[in-house]
Structure 1
Amino acid sequence: MADINSLSDRLLFGIPKKGRLHENCLSLLNGADINFHRPNRLDIALVYNLPIALVFLPAADIPKYVADGNVDLGITGQDVVEESQVGDKVEQLLELGFGKCKLQVQVPIKSNIKKVEELVGKRIVTSFEVLAGAYFEELDKKYLSDDQKKEGIKTKIEYVSGSVEAACALGLADGIVDLVESGETMRAAGLHPISTVNNTQAILIRNKHSSNTSLILKLTSRIKGVIAAQKYVLLNYNIQRNFLSKATKITPGRQAPTISPLDDKEWVEVQSMVCKDDVADIMDRLEEIGAKDILVFKIDNCRV
């Protein structure tokens, strides 16, 4: 591995080395024109076209590396940052829109437990002992009686590093707290959710005291453009001037639509960025008010 001390002239960017965030991060870097080659077995890769070095790290370690100033920037999950308790040392720059999960309280489907307060005073197994501990501490305050509190009864939070979903079947826990994406793994383990601790997704974070401010701003702008390009399309259509006000209410754009005159003075051309998920419905509504030549263009990159 390259000696990180030889990279003092480069901004260090922590990237998850594997797992659910890794492939999305590589796609994001490619869209932001961050060109690099990662040699086999090496966890540091030099970027060709910018003074940046990518440092591939376990996602769970990235908040600490950023907080301690070992790397300037990092991508990891919101849940990991909160669990690491480094919020006073790192700044969240962007929500990245991928890696979306829920941190949920799950119990066996066959159990009689229907509400999360029924787990108060029982055993919880989790990989997120800080977040789970804080969550159940509040429930303990609310639902344990004064006598129970005097006896020292409280919800027991036990840490395991993996295979959390097996804890109930093995008799180790009455419930678990774990990340859930589709829920298939939990259902296969005979579990179902009764409460959500929080929602999480991948985020871009920086060390609050990093000196590479201009390069961080450039990177953030590029990544923001990639995210917008994934979320929006460019809609182009022609509309009679009499219906222009109705049309622009349907397609107001991010700031305002672009309106251009045509040879036929009764008609104008309109261009507007619209949310990709809504484009079919928007096209239907435009057609209903007489819009013609409605075209949709993919946005590869942008600055917004």
Structure 2
Amino acid sequence: MDLVNHLSDRLLFAIPKKGRLYAKTLSLLAGSDLSFHRDNRLDIALVKNLPIALVFLPAADIPRYVGEGNVDLGITGQDQILESEMNEKVEEVLGLGFGDCKLQVQVPENGVITAVEQLVGKRIVTSFGVLTKRFFENWDPNGSTAIKNASGSVEAACALGLADGIVDLVESGETMKAAGLKPIHTLLTTTAVLIASKHPRFADLQKTIISRIRGVIVAKQYCLVTYNIERSILSQATAITPGKRAPSIISLDAPGWVAVQAMVLKKECAKKMDELEIVGAVDILVVGIDNSRA
């Protein structure tokens, strides 16, 4: 990749070009205020408001490009980092809160195989050849298990008579069930992560982007609860909403009353509002958060 020289004045940020991580990555970039337009036929887009170029690549290729210094930042799955054997060459900066999956051994639901050791000497189809081979070496030191690589539709291999079992990523499990498969072992759990080169070319800009992305992730987890309450019962209310660090408390132009603001986990917002109402809080509001900084 000659982009390092061609776009030497821009930080290069590798983005999954399609698949399960693509849409959520675009949402993350929008929340981080990275403004760009991507032509459908191009895999490079220049960010309009910062000296950054987005490079759209297969998620499986991103760890190698980051690890070898071709790009500065990237978003991919932990599974792809391990499969490409780049875990020692990239810095895993931040979990992104999406793309959670399991890499599992799956076999036919109605078959006779119920344990991994029964697959020794048989046929395995996978798109994770490195991790699968490493896993089966523990069970099959003689290497008699045939591990075949496939780039897609791995779940169909057993039904087509090409495999006795597969190793593939599983999100909800519905696809595997539809293919008549069941899990018998989980090799690893994985999630989407932000990775960085260990030799950054634009350290300050990289730090800014990481901070923005971290802020978006926090904002998606929290809401801001605001309410008014009498100071005499303030301690009861702040016990309910201690905030991410501490609540903000402001005296009101009404004797004995204060206004409180506190960050609350979104999944707890409704419950917290109920509890605040019980202890005597009024004017309770929930406000969405677009971004946040520590």
- Range into which the TM-score falls when normalised by the shorter chain: over 0.9
Find the counterpart in structure 1 of residue 148 from structure 2.
Answer: 158
8 A Cα contact 1:102 1:196, kept in partner: yes
Contact 1:137 1:155 in 2 (8 A): no
For residues 226 and 241 of structure 1, the distance between their equivalents in structure 2, rounded to whole angstroms, comes to 33
Aligned residue pairs total 293
Matched residue, 1:219: 209
Aligned-pair CA distance for 1:273 = 0.7
Alpha-carbon displacement from aligned partner over 1:190-238 (angstroms, at most 9, x marks no partner):
0122222222121111110122111100000011111111111100112
Q: Once the 2 structures are TM-superposed, how far is the Cα of residue 121 of structure 1 from its aligned partner?
A: 4.4
Residue 286 (structure 1) aligned with residue 292 (structure 2): no
Please, what is the CA RMSD of the aligned residues?
A: 2.0
Match in the other structure for 1:210: 200
After superposition, the C-alpha distances for 1:29-77 in whole angstroms (9 at most, x for unaligned) are 1111111122341211111111111111111111111111111111111
Where structure 1 has 5 or more consecutive residues not aligned to the other structure, the ranges are none
Counterpart-to-counterpart distance in 1, 2:114 and 2:272:
42
Q: Distance in 1 between matches of 2:143 and 2:22?
A: 42
Task: Judge which range, 258-267 or 180-189, deviates more.
Answer: 258-267
The aligned runs of 1:75-86 (5 Å cut-off) are: 75-86=75-86
Distance 1:123 1:278 in 2: 47
Query: Once the two structures are superposed, what CA deviation does each residue of 1:157-207 show, in whole Å capped at 9, x if it has no partner?
Result: 322111111111122222211111122211110012222222212111111
Give, in angstroms, the shift of residue 81 of structure 1. Answer: 0.8
> Which residue among 234, 240, 248 is the counterpart of 1:258?
248
| SS of residue matched to 1:169 | coil
Corresponding residue of 1:112: 112
TM score, norm. by length of structure 1 = 0.90
Structure 2 alignment gaps of length 5 or more? none
Determine the C-alpha separation between the residues in 2 that align with 1:303 and 1:242: 32
The answer for the alignment partner of 1:69 in structure 2 is 69
Query: For the structure 1 residues 287 and 156, does the alpha-carbon distance in structure 2 shift closer, same or farther, using more than 3 Å as the test?
Result: farther
Partner residue of 1:7?
7
Give the secondary structure class of the aligned counterpart of 1:133.
helix
1:196 alignment partner in structure 2: 186
Task: Indicate the residue corresponding to 1:271 in structure 2.
Answer: 261
- TM-score of the aligned structures, taking structure 2 as reference length: 0.92
Identity of aligned residues (%): 63
Displacement of 1:124 in angstroms is 2.2
Which residue identity lines up with residue 88 of structure 1 in the other structure? E
Once the two structures are TM-superposed, the CA of residue 14 in structure 1 deviates from its matched residue by 0.7
Residue 179 of structure 2 aligns with an amino acid whose one-letter code is: A
Show the counterpart of 1:101. Answer: 101
CA distance in 2, matches of 1:238, 1:112: 64
Is 1:59–1:76's contact at 8 Å kept on the other side of the alignment?
Answer: yes
